[in-house]
Each structure stands twice: as C-alpha cells, then as structure tokens.
Amino acid sequence: MAKVDLIIIGNGMSGGRLLNEILKRDPDRFRITVFGAEGCANYNRIMLSPVLAGEIRADDIITHSEQWYRDHNITLHSNDPVIAIDAESRTLTCQSGSLFSYDTLVLATGSDAVIPPAARDCDLDGILSFRNLADIDRIMSRAGNSRHATVIGGGLLGLEAAWGLRQQGLEVTVIHRGGWLLNRQLDPAAGKLLQQSLEARGISFRLNAEITQFSANQTLYSDESSAIRAGDSESEVHPISVKPSLQQITLNDGTVLNTCLAVIAIGITPNHKLAKISGFDCDRGVLVNDRMQSSHPNIYALGECTQFGNHTFGLVAPLWDQAMVLADQLCQSSDSRFSVQPCATKLKVSGIDLFSAGEFLDSPETESVVCQDTTSGVYRKLIFRDQILTGVVLYGAVNDGNWYFELIQAQQQAQHLAPELIFGRRYCDAESISRLTPVGVEQVQTSAPELSLATGASS
C-alpha cells in the first residue's frame, strides 16, 4: 500500500509530540515532511529559562535531534517557511518557491509574543522577546554589554526571563501591569511572597506599571550588535540593520528608568497568519473541531495556533491531548475526541515551587484557610465555596497539589476536613478521605496536570 504524504507545518513541541504519537501507532503509514522555522532540531521550549540562566546548555533540551529525523525517515525543512497553502490542489508553497503536495496537512504554527503598543510604535535596538533559542542568543549577546535589563510582564514567562537574566549577572527590573506577580495564578499574598523572594535574589519590581514610551539615546548607544526588531515573527528573516538603541523607558506614573535591554513577556497570541491568508476559518486562532480538523478537508491544526470553541492554548497538557487525538484520527486507530480539561498550574520560578488550581482570589461567597510559614516561606491557601473546595494556591511546599486538584474536580463537600486538609493528604483522617473519593476520579487522575509555560509551542 502506498504511503500517505503527511506534511506538518511547525516543528515545535506539539509537532514533535504528534510525531511520537504517530510513530507509536503506525510508523509506516506516512511519508512525513516537517517544516520548521527555527532551523534546528526540536527542543523543549519549557526549558528555555534554565538555558538563559546558564544552568543547562541548549543541547540538553533537544527532544528530537536532526539525526532522529533521519533515523525515522522524516524529511525536515528548516529555514524555508511555507508562505501559502492551496487546499484545492493540496499543495503548499515555500518562500524559496518550492512546491509540495500532500495528502494530509497539519498546521502547528504555534504562537507569537504579544507586543505592547509602545514597543510596536518604536524602532529601537534592544527590545526583544523571549520565545525561542534564537531569542536566547539575542538576549545573551545584548546582555553581554549591559548592566541592566528590564523585563516587561510579571507573569510566568517574564519571571523566568528575569531570573535567567539575573543569573547572567544583570540588574533586572520587572515591569508588571498587575497589582502582584502571577496575578492570573496567585492571590496577592502569595504574589507578594514570590516578589519578596525574587527581590532577595536581586530582582526589582514595578507593579501596577505600564510602559508609555521606549526611547533611545544615540549618542550613548551606537550600533554594537546585530539588531533585531522586537516582535519579529520567526517566519520572517530580517536583514541586519543599524538602529538607535534603547536607552530609557518611561512608565505611566512618569518614572523614567535607564535600561538598554527590554525583554517582552506579556503573553502570547496564536500564530494563524498562514491559515488566514490561505482562507481557513480563523478567529483568534485556527478554528478546529474536537477531531482537530480545520475548515478544510484533510487539513488539521494542532497546538497553540488553534482555537477550540472559545479556548486558545498556552499550557502543555492540552497540547499533549490534542496530539493524541490527532494521531488517533490520522492513524484511524480510534475516534477519540478532544475536550478541554480543567487546568492546574504547576511551576517552578527560580527554584520556588508553585501550584495553583481553580479559584485563587477570596470573595464574599468564599471561605479560605491559609497557612503561612514566615521562615521557610511556605504559603498554602484553600478556597471553599458552599463547603466545596474550589481553589488552591500553594507556594513553597506544593505537596498534594494534585490531590487538591482532584478534590476540586470532584466537587465533594470537603470543608469539614479543614483545617487539616491544608497540610496535605496524610494529615487527614483516612476514613474521611475515603468517603470523599468521588465517582470518576480515575478519569481525573489520568489527565496529566498541566504545565504552564506560556512559550510558543511550535511555529
């Protein structure tokens, strides 16, 4: 039987995962071609910050080496982005003009960094994003000549970048629009603890702050390095040019900070440019159904470029689910369907364990139990609504986070277990726990807890 031509556009984490899932199911079914923009092997994007911090080398995070593609007879095209798809003729065109035809096509183009308006409107050297290994190279090269760096965004990615830069020996200031760090995952108290901990590691913070202006001082900063314009999409190649260098940023309260390196990490947005110009149904991302099908026959989409219902994706676990569903579809191994599972956030910032699931802010309808250790820096909070555990924030000691996550999903009345509940499962009366075990807990357990690192998964 003739092999089916499968083309995957995007060589990020979800694309890589899809390859694994397909090979696991039916390694001989397809003749596979992969287009990647980054010009290298596939790597674990979640690990960019330790690379930036110098804790590990770039090689350490490779998941699929070029040799791996060769070993599995997969054709990898790097440095030649696809610029158009013709669904009618089942062909696609690359920047180089090469034409490829496919039987089945998968879009896994990932996401782009969100760029604040002030950065979009200027054209300065020294404003960078933190999205891929190339960004790391640019940041490192810029950092080598800087004493100070500014990170815009006090979310997960921003803090990882800040920590990495700090590890490089820079003075780092984080500009954050929220009132506390990780304000999408943590309550103010935990955010404050995280801030104190990072401050103790030499990072400064400006909260409730936005940048109104990036400005240059050409007399001080002439061309000193390759200049990359902020907000570059990796699918484009920019000529090296000489531009004015970033020298100052101005905050909305009028404060002016001297800085020559700004790393933008305020969020991501699905990269659906190719799909859009090729006439696919798009909203914020490439619209897919629960079989990961796009609006065009034989064309699927996967990962951070997709939009499923109202959801877009930045966490790794739903991407893994998508890869499994899509592999099932492509290999016709089963008719599994994708659905959005509840997410818990687990992460490590500069060695501090964090866990957050469900609600994390108090409200008049909720009751909370809070445990805090001033010396060891542990903070744990459970939130109940009508006796039901609806949220958990763990800082410093994240034991039993998954169990709380299960309890939240199970929607059993658990408040009577407080306050012991907050210390973890082994502090609770076993009998009371057994009575809590909800129906369908198996299902919840098999769903892997989500990892939140808002890096682009593929492009």
* Binding region for other proteins (CB under 8 A): 44, 46-47, 56, 60, 63, 316-317, 320, 346-348, 353, 355, 367-376, 378, 396-402, 416, 418-420, 422-423, 426-427, 448-449, 451, 453
* CA pair distance 7, 324, nearest whole angstrom: 17
Three-state DSSP class for 9?
strand
Closer to other proteins by CB, 203 or 369: give it: 369
- Output the smallest distance, CB 328 to other proteins, in A: 19
Residue found under tokens 């590890």: 167
With respect to other proteins, which residue has the nearer C-beta, 300 or 320? 320
User: Taking the complex as a whole, how short is the minimal distance between the CB of residue 198 and other proteins, in angstroms?
Assistant: 18
DSSP state string for 173-206: EEE-SSSSTTTTTS-HHHHHHHHHHHHHTTEEEE
Residue 278 or 458 having the CB closest to other proteins: 458
Looking at the Cβ atoms of 211 and 382, the one nearer to other proteins is 382
Task: Report, in Å, the least distance between residue 251 CB and other proteins.
Answer: 33
List phi, psi (to 5°) of 247. Answer: -130, -35
**Minimal distance, residue 378 CB to other proteins, in Å:** 6
For residue 270, is the peptide bond before it cis, meaning its omega torsion is within 30 degrees of 0?
A: no
Alpha helix (H) ranges present in 294-359?
316-331
Minimum CB–partner distance for residue 55 and other proteins (Å): 9
The least CB distance from residue 400 to other proteins, in Å, is: 7
Say how many C-beta atoms besides its own lie within 10 A of residue 275's C-beta. 26
How far is CA 112 from its chain centroid?
10
94/371 with CB nearer other proteins: 371
Answer for the pair 290, 300: CB distance below 8 angstroms, yes or no.
no
Give the CA dihedral 380, 384, 390, 394, nearest 10 degrees.
Answer: 0
Distance CA 214, CA 262 (A): 9
CB closer to other proteins, 4 vs 370: 370
Cα separation values, 452 from 18, 195, 357, Å: 19, 19, 11
CA distances from 375 to 347, 352, 372, 399 (A): 21, 14, 9, 18
Residue whose CB is less far from other proteins, 126 or 401: 401
**Shortest separation between residue 418's beta carbon and other proteins, angstroms:** 6
In Å, the largest CA–CA distance within the chain is 73
Instruction: Between 47 and 286, name the residue whose CB sits nearer to other proteins.
Output: 47
Sign of CA dihedral 18, 21, 24, 27: negative
For residues 135 and 128, is the Cβ–Cβ distance under 8 A? Answer: yes
Measured CA distances, 11 to 17, 20, 291 (Å) = 10, 12, 21
Closest CB 432 distance from other proteins, rounded Å? 10
Instruction: Please state the length of the chain.
Output: 459
Residue 155 or 244: the one with the smaller Cβ distance to other proteins is 155
Beta carbon nearer to other proteins, 82 or 315: 315
Rounded to whole angstroms, how far apart are CA atoms 143 and 149?
8
CB of 165 to other proteins, least distance (A): 19
Minimum CB separation of residue 10 from other proteins in Å reads 19
Distance of CA 253 to the CA centre of its chain: 30
User: Whole-angstrom Cα distance, residue 233 to residue 236?
Assistant: 6
